Structure 1
Amino acid sequence: MEIVLDHVSKTYPGQDTPAVADVSMTIPAGEIVVFVGPSGSGKTTTMRMINRLIEPTSGTITIGGRDALSIDANELRQSIGYAIQQGGLFPHMTVSQNIAVVPKLLKWDKKRITDRVNELLDLVGLDPDQFGQRYPRQLSGGQQQRVGVARALAADPPVLLMDEPFGAVDPITRGLLQDELMTLQAELRKTIVFVTHDFNEAVKLGDRIAVLGEQSRIQQYDTPEAILANPANETVAGFVGQGAALQQLNLMRVRDVDIEQRPTAHESDSVEDFASRIQTWGVILDSRDRPIRWTDRTHLRGVASIADVGLPMGEMVTIASTLQDALEAILAERNAATVVTGPRGRYEGVITIETLVDTIRSLREEHQDDPAISDPGSDSFPAADAESATESPTR
């Protein structure tokens, strides 16, 4: 559903200055639009007016061609998913009960609710049998966020609002959750409004970015590529910073470059057959084709079962990860490649340091004469570090 804000403002009682002043924008159907701006800029207030958690003082908001003010507030909120920081889960409810909240309000039958809860837990990478009956306090921060996203998607809403949903987790978990969201979006194609203060996150996730200043005044509303290439003013340039050249890697996805293959086997497969197919190293998969360990031929000598061998996987990326993510994953452990997963965490292949180096060189050659997207610090682009990683004896 397309969302249109037409001259929307919000002034709180007793205040002369509006918190949001005259915002007009169109959020295309099926895209992720990211609101980015400093604290206090009104970006969350603007987003909450879409589902009427905050009522606008003036202006109109239409969702799928319908005036939001003409829709019963409860009906409207039940048709819009809402995910917030730290999941916002009810502590006295189990994971399954949390996800089932809106379907129960919509009076779905029990079997339909159970099937939907299990489907969503699988969708966000949590085993229903293992996690369904846990309480939020028994989950890690990243797991809570996954459940929060699952709950927001429970009734299959066409619109999803996300208010800094990954802001309270560590950087590694945050990157994984961002990748999960991109993978989900490739399948579901929801209209998503995402609020953040992190411009790198906005570049990674957004089909379009709205850079907001005070009172949510729009400084620039465009694609990440256009904003990186041509910041509209000093405020936007401040968000872009000095790393515009490096941020070009955030505009390309792992799926956009060559993904190589390594031999794979399940734990019940033949040791001899697996060893015969390995030249350098191979990947051991679980029953759902998710990578769990890696091994080489020396590990397989004299063992009776694949279940007895292998080393834990290091950092992995998804097909929705950026090339920046892939570069960091490889350099973090000084490996020559990193494993790539797809929907439901299934093995897709590997991306190698050679592929990244070739891509980095191409990007630099393409942009070296374009001052709009190259910067004085671009000589510190980490190609040299990337090349040095190929000398590592690991993997």
Structure 2
Amino acid sequence: MSVAESPETVSGVEIELENVTKRYPGTREPAVDDFSMVVPAGKIVVFVGPSGCGKTTTMRMINRLIEPTSGRITIGGDDALKLDVDTLRRRIGYAIQQAGLFPHFTVAQNIAVVPGLLGWDKKKVDDRVEEMMDLVGLDPADFRDRFPRQLSGGQQQRVGVARALAADPPVLLMDEPFGAVDPITRGNLQDELLRLQTDLKKTIVFVTHDFDEAVKLGDKIAVLGNQSRILQYDTPDAILANPADDTVAGFVGAGASLKQLTLLRVRDVELKQDALTATVSESPSEVREKLIQQRKHFALVLDQRRRPMRWVHVRELTKATSLSTAGKPLRDYVSLQSTLQDALEAMLAEGGSVPVTGARGEYAGTIELDTVIATIQQLREEHSDDSPAEGVTA
């Protein structure tokens, strides 16, 4: 599906698992016992649970990296267990922790693997590689000929997602794909996935042990216990408000009210548009004059595609020869898909207001602490008004 199509277009398909069981030889208990679930088309469903509970095993049975012992799995109405396994896997994108890239392939060659296996002609493959690199925020001119060892962990994960989506599969399976990167990069990758999903509307099954990640990403969350027993399968807000039992409540943990911040997005609040911005090619002296005229201390430097790069103080422009090196690189930023919790964490890293990026990483404004605090206060008042009075008798 072209990203130019309507965001309402759903390219994903429904997945249904019926009484799926996995029993390994020589074990008394099944690893997965009688698992049944419908994953809606075009939605992100997150499996969350403790290590060893069977969540990864359950997900891998969807693309038959692990063969079910019994049960039925349908993908878009097709019986997955009756399809040729290679054909099935080429219809399902798969992204894992630490990307799993082929080390001796370039970025472009890694992304081109499945389209090549499907017999696409060279021009179509090259066009798709360029499209996917742009989609995940990697400039093809800079990155297509690099090898995985020449990339940061976050860049490798972006390539992994691009490779998983290259053949335009309706289903994407993601097995703790962001678990091996630092917290800031992890937040940015989560935002990137949500941005992509806004355009692509794939059916995504995502495995994590991090409940906060599940709340941020999931349209629905399946909290799993031993043998992949479903303890609760519902929307994030429903699980936060009403955990099904003590085990689920343990996953929610303390500070459930603070986790409500992960249900609110930066796009839901008003952004500030008063920061002075300058493209990296502008003259430092001219930017300094603008700051002085507008009585501002900082300018936000943008690259040629209007993506935030660095903050520069008016004092640092006196002797600067280029905006590409003046000031300090951004420690953190957020996107319109980010949660207000992400924004608060970024404010702590940046020490003040934080740049916000749009659909293609372009600058969209800034978010400030007073905006977040006002939003939280408003929600608190609304919840107080909605709460039934206690202790009232007729």
Q: TM-score with structure 1 length normalisation? A: 0.88
Q: For residue 344 of structure 1, what is the aligned residue in structure 2?
A: 360
Q: For residue 320 of structure 1, what is the aligned residue in structure 2?
A: 337
1:132 paired with 2:144, answer: yes
Q: Deviations over 1:169-227 (max 9, x none)?
A: 12221111111111111111111000001101101110100000010010000000000
1:211 paired with 2:203, answer: no
Q: Deviations over 1:207-252 (max 9, x none)?
A: 1000000100100000000000000011100100011010000111
Q: Deviations over 1:341-392 (max 9, x none)?
A: 12232111100111011012123333458899xxxxxxxxxxxxxxxxxxxx
Q: Pick one of 288, 294, 299 that aligns with 1:282.
A: 299
Shift of 1:60: 1.0
Shift of 1:296: 5.0
What letter is aligned with 1:224? P
Q: Pick one of 246, 257, 275 that aligns with 1:234.
A: 246
Q: Percent identity?
A: 66
Q: Deviations over 1:72-105 (max 9, x none)?
A: 1111100100001100111121111111110000
Shift of 1:277: 5.6
Say whether the 8 Å CA contact 1:264–1:274 is kept in structure 2: no
The verdict on how the C-alpha distance between 1:213 and 1:265 changes in structure 2, with shifts beyond 3 A counting, is same
Distance (Å, rounded) in 2 between the aligned partners of 1:246 and 1:367: 14
Distance (Å, rounded) in 2 between the aligned partners of 1:36 and 1:2: 20
Distance (Å, rounded) in 2 between the aligned partners of 1:107 and 1:24: 35
Q: For residue 61 of structure 2, what is the aligned residue in structure 1?
A: 49
Say whether the 8 Å CA contact 1:93–1:135 is kept in structure 2: yes
Distance (Å, rounded) in 2 between the aligned partners of 1:69 and 1:278: 67
The size of the alignment, in residue pairs, is 371
After TM superposition, list the pairs within 5 Å mapping 1:66-215 onto structure 2: 66-215=78-227
Distance (Å, rounded) in 2 between the aligned partners of 1:333 and 1:279: 18
Say whether the 8 Å CA contact 1:265–1:274 is kept in structure 2: no
SS in 1 for 2:161: helix
Q: TM-score with structure 2 length normalisation? A: 0.89
What letter is aligned with 1:56? P
Shift of 1:283: 2.0
Is the deviation greater in 69-78 or in 307-316? 307-316
Unaligned stretches of 5+ residues in structure 1 = 373-395
SS in 2 for 1:292: strand
Shift of 1:308: 6.7
Q: For residue 387 of structure 1, what is the aligned residue in structure 2?
A: none
1:354 paired with 2:370, answer: yes
Distance (Å, rounded) in 1 between the aligned partners of 2:186 and 2:27: 37
Unaligned stretches of 5+ residues in structure 2 = 1-12, 389-394
Distance (Å, rounded) in 2 between the aligned partners of 1:297 and 1:170: 31
Shift of 1:61: 0.9
1:292 paired with 2:305, answer: no
Shift of 1:310: 3.9
Is the deviation greater in 56-65 or in 225-234? 56-65
What letter is aligned with 2:279? H
Shift of 1:269: 4.0
Q: Deviations over 1:15-67 (max 9, x none)?
A: 23111111111111111100000111110111011111111122111111111
Distance (Å, rounded) in 2 between the aligned partners of 1:307 and 1:41: 49
Q: For residue 25 of structure 1, what is the aligned residue in structure 2?
A: 37
Shift of 1:121: 1.4
Say whether the 8 Å CA contact 2:184–2:332 is kept in structure 1: no
Say whether the 8 Å CA contact 1:288–1:346 is kept in structure 2: yes
Distance (Å, rounded) in 2 between the aligned partners of 1:54 and 1:306: 53
Shift of 1:267: 2.9
Is the deviation greater in 258-267 or in 43-52? 258-267
